[in-house]
Amino acid sequence: MNDAPVTAPPRAAALALGDDALVLSHRLGEWAGHAPVLEEEVALANIALDLLGQARILLSLVGDEDELAYLREERAFRNLQLVEQPNGDFAQTIARQLYFSTYQLFLYRQLAAGDSAFTGLAAKAVKEVAYHQDHAAHWTLRLGDGTAESHERMARACGALWRYTGEMFEPVEGLEVDWRALEDSWRESVAGVLERATLTLPDGPRSGAWRAGAGRQGLHTEPFGPMLAEMQHLHRSHPGASW
Amino acid sequence: MVTGTGSRPASPAPAAPGDTHPTALETELRALAGAVPDPELPVLTLEELGVLRTVVMSGPGTVRVELTPTYTGCPAIETMSEDIERVLRERGIPDVSVVTVLSPAWSTDDISAEGRRKLAEFGIAPPRPGAADGPVPLSLSIRCPHCGSTDTELLSRFSSTACKALRRCAACREPFDHFKEL
């Protein structure tokens, strides 16, 4: 029938896209009960839900979604180091959202225009991600062009996460993407938002140049282990648990 | 649940609408499945919401239903599938399979005119038409479903569910949900 994939989905690519969505979804879920205002709590939970929906579909392409999410070790995850970074203050969460949602928007646009195992999902998710990017951009403007304190925190957050952005444009096996064009679109979009927010694009070193590799090779930062332990412990302690 | 992601609109299934006319039984089953209420917005039926794609008898006593989610992570899809299975089994079809398809992606433009009318009546501002992709420019006004004023403001881009935004009417001061364009 017409829901069979055109070709077998490439595993590395499905894990890269799926793990990005899964891990960021979990991080955003950590805001539940802690967000600065109720509306924002609901917004972050809704964005997390969209990402979880993507993750379930992507991981199911290459295996059992629960086994992949709950029973893999840290080194087997292929997500970007950016998405595993702790929530920090609200500015750091927004900076992470701005960098990642802009990346996902342009990446999914390219995938939606192609013809691969990811075309259907990308065409659907790109419309949702446009709202995520809109949300992040508006908060960046509000914080960057807000009080002296909010400006300072937003600038600090954008600078602190900058080092993790280079990895986003390293080619992923099995994804037919023009990575150079993706990086150009991303940089232009992020720089435009930051400029309107009276901030500047950071210019420090980025992870793309790290020879040891990064999240796409299974090398993760220190905060990822504790996050994974919390995410997986219920499933591992009580196999088959459900409600 | 089976989830398809790689389907292309250009290569329809052998039994896709247009190739063959639905039989009287298929028409009846589609009406039954289409009349199932949305679990989160029970004023709307699945037909009015535009998520029911096809209902095809693939063999004697075997029906296949294609359903598309509004949002990728919409948790209501599982309840919808169970409800459809139940009503079609009650009609006497022993083998019901409900599969989820992603392509072509659902859009708020798929909500019927009757569905839009019911949303407004229920207190939810319906989506504006022409949601090609991404947020619709805010210059198009959104009418308050309570008093009808177009003087309304956005409070939050995400409301009680991912598909709605939270707004407030400047005229009657009531907050209300707006079904976002997708």
Per-residue confidence band for A240, with pLDDT thresholds at 50, 70 and 90: confident
Of residues A43, A53, A61, nearest to B73 (C-beta)? A53
- The question of ipTM being above 0.85 is answered as no
Q: Is the torsion defined by CA of B165, B168, B170, B172 positive or negative? A: positive
Average pLDDT for residues A46-63, to the nearest whole number?
96
Residue B6 has pLDDT above 50, yes or no: no
pLDDT value at residue A241: 82
Size of chain B, expressed as the number of residues it contains: 182
Amino acid B112 reads S
| Nearest Cβ partner for B73 among A52, A61, A120 | A52
Task: Give residue B9's pLDDT band: very low, low, confident or very high (50, 70, 90).
Answer: very low
pLDDT of residue B10 exceeding 90, the answer is no
- Options 3.30.300.130, 1.10.760.10, 3.20.20.140, 3.90.1300.10; CATH for B3-101 is 3.30.300.130
Q: What is chain A's mean pLDDT, rounded? A: 93
Distances (CA, A) of B72 to A124, A125, A238, B102, B154: 7, 7, 28, 8, 24
Report the residue of chain B nearest A7, measured CA to CA: B6
Domain boundaries, chain B: 3-101, 118-179
Mean pLDDT to the nearest integer, B116-123: 92
A50 in reach of chain B (CB within 8 A): yes
Query: Nearest residue of A to residue B69 by CA position?
Result: A124
For A116-154, what is each residue's pLDDT tens digit? 999 999 999 999 999 999 999 999 999 999 999 999 999
Q: What is the pLDDT of residue B12?
A: 40
B19-59 confidence digits (pLDDT tens): 578 899 999 999 999 999 999 889 999 999 999 999 999 99
Q: Which range scores top for mean pLDDT: A90-94, A209-213, B143-147, B171-175?
A: A90-94
- Alpha-carbon distance of A82 to A23, in angstroms, equals 10
Instruction: Report strand pairing: B62-67 vs B95-101.
Output: parallel
Helices (H) and strands (E) in chain B — how many of each?
4, 8
pLDDT over threshold 80, residue A45:
yes
B153: number of Cβ within 10 Å? 10
CB contact under 8 A, A53 and B12: no
Domains recognised in chain A with CATH numbers: 11-237 (1.20.1260.10)
- Smallest CA-to-CA distance from A222 within A115, A86, A121, A119 is with A86
pLDDT digits (tens, 9 = 90+) for A28-37: 999 999 988 8
